[in-house]
């Protein structure tokens, strides 16, 4: 069974064989951090969201770089798995 049988492609629409994520800008990372709820509980990394929000200006370029590395190297699933250990 093919993808086209589930979702027919419109005539004249160009298809690409692979899906690629685009790199993100630092402003997007900064906005996402700013709009997160400032819970006091921490995750696997033992860093609270309120601490991340307080240091948004410092952390957003670093986090943006890490996210873009995951996108560019297509290692996102392996890195995410490692981070969750």
Long-range contacts of 28-34 (CB under 8 A, 24+ apart): 28/64, 29/60, 29/61, 29/63, 29/64, 29/67, 30/56, 30/57, 30/60, 33/59, 33/60, 33/63
Mind listing the pLDDT tens digit for each residue in 4-22?
555 566 677 666 666 667 8
Domain ranges in the chain are: 20-83
Structure confidence at residue 30 as a pLDDT band (50, 70, 90): very high
CB 26 within 8 A of CB 61: yes
The residue with greater pLDDT, 82 or 28, is 28
What number is the average pLDDT over the span 40-59?
87
pTM, whole model, 2 decimals? 0.62
């Amino acid at each position: 069974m093919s993808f086209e049988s589930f979702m027919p492609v419109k005539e004249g629409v160009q298809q690409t064989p692979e899906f690629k994520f685009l790199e993100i800008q630092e402003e997007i990372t900064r906005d996402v951090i700013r709009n997160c709820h400032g819970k006091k509980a921490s995750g696997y990394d033992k860093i609270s969201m309120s601490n991340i929000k307080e240091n948004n200006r410092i952390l957003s370029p670093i986090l943006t770089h890490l996210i873009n590395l995951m996108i560019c190297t297509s290692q996102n699933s392996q890195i995410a798995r490692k981070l969750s250990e």
